[in-house]
Structure 1
């Protein structure tokens, strides 16, 4: 019997109808990733590397440390303040494409701040996967990240 953990975890998942190598590269190569997630990345994801991701539309950047990479199958990073672990798993399903699962753990926040972090990261990673699916399957840039919090809607 599987035991349930009390550790807060965010999980988002999506089938992307492309081979695992194509989907994996889209998350490793910032020249591809910028079409559905951040606007700039300081380099390709490689084990042991420190990378910076930027979202120009929000004036935000984040430091990422790449802990592990298994080509076409797995990426594990540490990111954010406070630091959390994010795992990207890529499972090719014959005849369908690649099932991508993103899991985020290690939240330091408590009470209302924890609920806010879980909510933001669940929505954020779901939005990233939706954008990746549209871009990788159809070549469409939906601008989901930029449109999630347009300044005209969030300023009062």
Structure 2
């Protein structure tokens, strides 16, 4: 598998963690700023990061409530698997796998590095929001405009 993988323990039920990725009204507190609709199998959903003037279209390929979400990103098409495992104490272990990259060599390494860093930031923000009701503003602060104006 050419791809990235990251994971995090979230001290909330799998149903709550799962819903945080399905419902854009929750997701916007730790990831994107706008989602056109809830994820449903076969439905095209637009996600926007308005601070960066970036958007993407995703299509859910599989949804198993409280257990799994598989989406396909556009441009270029890659796959993201979100797995939710309930632990004995009722908390949830989330694993995100992003794969299907078509790059090779250094470009592939860069894509995997960016994906791993991005999804790790998403999981960190999810943990803070669901466990402590804090929006850390991680996505917006990752690339502030002033820094980007002068190059990373």
After TM superposition, where is structure 1 displaced by more than 2 Å over at least 4 residues in a row? none
Deviations 1:96-152 (A, max 9, x none): 500000001100111221111111100000000000000000000000000000011
Aligned to 1:34: 28
Mapped to 2, the partners of 1:36 and 1:80 lie a distance apart of 21
The answer for the alignment partner of 2:52 in structure 1 is 58
Of 4, 13, 17, the match for 2:7 = 13
Distance 2:134 2:121 in 1: 14
Residue 136 of structure 2 corresponds to which residue in structure 1?
142
Greater CA drift, 137-146 or 7-16: 7-16
| 1:24 corresponds to | 18
- 2:100 is the alignment partner of 1:106: yes
CA distance in 2, matches of 1:42, 1:74: 21
SS in 2 for 1:130: helix
Q: State how many pairs are aligned.
A: 150
SS, match of residue 52 in structure 1: strand
Partner of 2:87: 93
Shift of 1:72: 0.5
- Which 5+ residue runs of structure 2 have no aligned equivalent? none
* Residue 80 of structure 1: how far off its partner (Å): 3.5
TM-score relative to the length of structure 2:
0.96
- Alignment root-mean-square deviation, CA: 0.8
